[in-house]
Amino acid sequence: MSKILIATSNPAKRQEISKGLLDLVQQGLRILTLQDVKTDGEPIESGNTFEENARIKAEFYGNQTGLPTISDDGGLMIDALDGQPGVKSRRWPGYEATDQELIQYALDQMKDIPSSKRTAQLVTCVCLYHPEIQRYYCQQEGIEGIITDSPSTWDTNGYPYRALFVVRKYNKLYDDLTHEEHEDINHRIKALRKLKTHIKEQVMV
């Protein structure tokens, strides 16, 4: 049976990626998580872009396990702040912050920015790394939106910036999207769809 490792410790990401690969599972692909394999240490996310960090994580876990590995990296990019927080989305204040700390920090950074200049993007890059052939396949997708000054009160589940992000297409907070609207704009799933050809050709053989 063909196997692939989803290399993330974020339960919400793991669930979303697994869902995006469901049709391949039905065709015989077996999904493994970091809980199913033995690894040593954690990768140092030293990249300057989402793609670089996604590659670092996929290569780290792929080489340790010998398994084709999917990893992703992403975050918020605010135009008025020159793309911040970008790759530092989780560590924007200078340390590994909680969801609520990140929400408050973002609000503080945006307090003097007028509504007409609060445009932003939620970006993700998903990478497949195959250790046997030492090749990467990466796809990046994004969602256009605006940063609000009135965050939602939904549970953030490891995605703090969604509480502040108004999706331009629906003019609604990300957290207030219906299931169908969320499926329509889901950038991680869109990136995965573009990787499926490579998964079929390089993994499911």
Known catalytic residues? 73
State whether the Cα torsion 199-29-32-74 is positive or negative. positive
Cβ–Cβ < 8 Å for 22, 196: no
CA distances from 134 to 2, 55, 130, 150, 202 (A): 17, 11, 6, 46, 11
Per DSSP bridges, beta strands 135-147 and 119-130 are antiparallel
Q: How far apart are CA 68 and CA 130, in angstroms?
A: 4
Nearest one of 151, 195, 170, 165 to 75, comparing CA atoms? 165
Smallest CA-to-CA distance from 45 within 32, 31, 55, 33 is with 55
Q: Looking at 11-62, which runs of residues are DSSP E strands?
A: 30-33
Distance CA 98, CA 19 (A): 26
Type of residue at 44: I
